[in-house]
């Protein structure tokens, strides 16, 4: 067991405290590098009219335009970012500061150009480094190769392989209809107008089809049902009045989770499909591995932009991006309030590189973190008594430690490289 000693600790950036005497452990493992991949914060539905038409009801509007980050969402990300940086500092992360702000070679923050994502990235910067004026970097094009490779039509999966992988889990239309009958019934009872013209999509057969950009999609209940589940979650998370959350049916976190069943099915059947994930996520995975290995002997195999060598590297994109990386790793989680492998607003997949004192060996902790539904709704202050929900990735060779599951960096990089394909390698990355 580590021995404890008293020492002075100067709190910097997002850690709002004064010079004081605190009890600190002498760590066996110390953080050298942090690489994060985050989803944007809370937003409204992206197409209110589509929901109105499909269900025959008028869906509540948020106080921002469809698809934009809300004020509640911004505040939650600021708070969460402050909490996370504090945790990393307590584990020995040693960013270099000047006048309480990180020096210019310490942080690299890259985001998709979409409003909700750029604004989330700014909230991360403001939460971690308030008053420092850190501006996220982003491309000027509508779509970014790291986050929207399918939209650029630069992902080239085998559609027949994707369909086969989906069908192996979904089964026939009749089997899917039977499996998800209770979820469909709940949606019908909750958000459909009481007439024969509403929610006709719930009665259509379950079929797989492909968009023009190559993404798999569905006919039948998932065509709108998945969006409905996500929208209800967003309503609850943004603290809309309960009478507006699923028209009064999303009265608590358990009720909201039940209404997310079709949303979870789309994750499971489409987004978490290996062939889809590998072709959409390989370019992003290469940047993560490059950032994670810079400064180690492994880096010669993962060349990349010099900004990836900074101690803190943060990518901000979509839930799809996290799902792709998750699927490529074979990482699964089940967090309170949410369906399995769900990716809530503001969720983050964190790759933290540790150095073991004495042996000089390098390890990585891969941790998925997210707010609970009620933490989002109430903007609960995060601390050691009210932490983020989390799950650590582990495989054979990892070690269970006080810092969580630590995996040898070399083994992790080898494991993470197994599904890499070459899609997108000809595109400029971090191009402004």
- For 134-145, write each residue's pLDDT tens digit: 999 999 889 999
Per DSSP (E only), the strands in 211-257 are 216-219
Residue that has been written with the tokens 């900074």 in this structure: 310
Q: What is the pLDDT of residue 299?
A: 84
- Report CA 291 to chain centroid distance, whole Å: 18
Q: Which letter, b or e, does each residue of 22-31 get, where b requires 16 or more Cβ atoms within 10 Å of its Cβ?
A: eeeeebbbbb
Distance CA(301)–CA(280), nearest Å, equals 21
Q: What is the pLDDT of residue 400?
A: 95
What mean pLDDT, rounded, does the chain reach?
92
Tell whether the model's pLDDT for residue 38 goes beyond 80: yes
Tell whether the model's pLDDT for residue 2 goes beyond 90: no
Check: CB of residue 102 under 8 Å from CB of residue 43.
Answer: no
Distance CA(77)–CA(46), nearest Å, equals 20
Q: Span 155-164, mean pLDDT?
A: 96
Q: What is the pLDDT of residue 358?
A: 83
Check: CB of residue 166 under 8 Å from CB of residue 276.
Answer: no
Q: Span 222-235, mean pLDDT?
A: 97
Tell whether the model's pLDDT for residue 357 goes beyond 90: no
Q: What is the pLDDT of residue 26?
A: 57
Check: CB of residue 199 under 8 Å from CB of residue 57.
Answer: no
The tens digit of pLDDT for each residue in 403-422 reads 999 999 999 999 999 999 99
Single out the residue of 330, 403, 343, 410 nearest to residue 31, CA to CA. 403
Is residue 113 packed enough to be buried (19+ CB in 10 Å), middle (13-18) or exposed (0-12)?
middle
Provide CB contacts within 8 A for 164, sequence distance 6+: none
Alpha carbons within 13 A on the beta-carbon side of 47 = 7
Q: Span 201-216, mean pLDDT?
A: 94
Q: Span 17-44, mean pLDDT?
A: 75
Q: Tell me the two tokens of residue 287.
A: 């940047």
Q: Name the least confident of 136-150, 233-247, 295-309, 311-325.
A: 295-309
The tens digit of pLDDT for each residue in 96-116 reads 999 999 999 999 999 999 999
Query: What are the residue ranges of helices labelled H in 129-219?
Result: 159-170, 173-179, 181-191
**SS3 state at 175:** helix
The tens digit of pLDDT for each residue in 85-97 reads 999 999 999 999 9
Q: What is the pLDDT of residue 10?
A: 33
Tell whether the model's pLDDT for residue 24 goes beyond 60: no
Distances in Å between the Cα of 129 and the Cα atoms of 52, 91, 134, 286 are: 41, 18, 8, 27
Where is pLDDT greater, at 7 or 171? Answer: 171
Tell whether the model's pLDDT for residue 23 goes beyond 90: no
Q: What is the pLDDT of residue 57?
A: 97
Q: Span 54-58, mean pLDDT?
A: 97
Tell whether the model's pLDDT for residue 21 goes beyond 70: no
Check: CB of residue 224 under 8 Å from CB of residue 187.
Answer: no
Q: What are phi and psi of 53, to 5 degrees?
A: -65, -40
Provide CB contacts within 8 A for 394, sequence distance 6+: 400, 405, 407
Is residue 163 packed enough to be buried (19+ CB in 10 Å), middle (13-18) or exposed (0-12)?
middle
Q: Span 21-40, mean pLDDT?
A: 78
Q: Span 222-232, mean pLDDT?
A: 97
Q: What is the pLDDT of residue 9?
A: 32
Distance CA(352)–CA(407), nearest Å, equals 10
């Amino acid at each position: 067991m580590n021995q404890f000693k008293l020492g002075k600790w100067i709190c910097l950036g997002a850690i709002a405290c004064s010079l004081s005497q605190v009890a600190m452990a002498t760590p066996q493992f110390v953080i050298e590098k942090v690489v994060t991949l985050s989803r944007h914060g809370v937003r409204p539905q992206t197409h209110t009219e589509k929901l109105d038409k499909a269900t025959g009801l008028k869906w509540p509007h948020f106080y921002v335009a469809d698809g934009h980050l809300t004020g509640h969402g911004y505040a939650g990300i600021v708070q969460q970012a402050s909490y996370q940086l504090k945790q990393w500092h307590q584990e020995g992360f040693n960013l270099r500061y000047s006048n309480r702000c990180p020096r210019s070679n310490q942080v690299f923050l890259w985001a998709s150009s979409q409003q909700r994502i750029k604004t989330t990235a700014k909230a991360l910067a403001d939460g971690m480094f308030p008053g420092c004026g850190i501006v996220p970097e982003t491309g000027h094009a509508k779509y970014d190769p790291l986050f929207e490779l399918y939209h650029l039509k630069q992902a080239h999966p085998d559609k027949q392989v994707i369909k086969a992988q989906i069908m192996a889990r979904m089964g026939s239309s009749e089997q899917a209809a039977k499996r998800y009958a209770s979820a469909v019934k709940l949606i019908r009872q909750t958000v459909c107008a009481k007439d024969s013209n509403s929610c006709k999509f719930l009665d259509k057969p379950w079929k797989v089809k492909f968009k023009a950009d190559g993404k798999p999609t569905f006919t039948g209940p998932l065509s709108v049902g998945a969006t409905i589940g996500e929208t209800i979650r967003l309503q609850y998370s943004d603290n809309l009045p309960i009478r507006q959350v699923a028209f009064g049916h999303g009265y608590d976190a358990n009720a909201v989770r039940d209404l997310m069943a079709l949303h979870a099915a789309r994750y499971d059947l489409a987004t978490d499909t290996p062939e889809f994930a590998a072709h959409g996520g390989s370019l992003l995975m290469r940047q993560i591995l490059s950032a994670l290995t810079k400064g180690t002997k492994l880096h010669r195999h993962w060349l990349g932009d010099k900004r990836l060598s900074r101690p803190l590297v943060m990518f901000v994109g979509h839930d799809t991006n996290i799902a792709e990386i998750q699927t490529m790793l074979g990482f699964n989680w089940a967090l309170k309030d949410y369906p399995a492998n769900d990716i809530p607003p503001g969720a983050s997949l964190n790759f933290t590189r540790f150095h073991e004192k004495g042996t000089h060996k390098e390890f990585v902790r891969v941790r998925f973190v997210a707010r609970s539904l009620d933490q989002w709704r109430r903007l609960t202050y995060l601390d050691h008594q009210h932490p983020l929900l989390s799950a650590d990735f582990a495989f054979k060779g990892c070690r269970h430690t006080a810092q969580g599951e630590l995996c040898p960096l070399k083994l992790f990089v080898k494991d993470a490289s197994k599904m890499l394909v070459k899609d997108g390698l000809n595109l400029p990355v971090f191009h402004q």
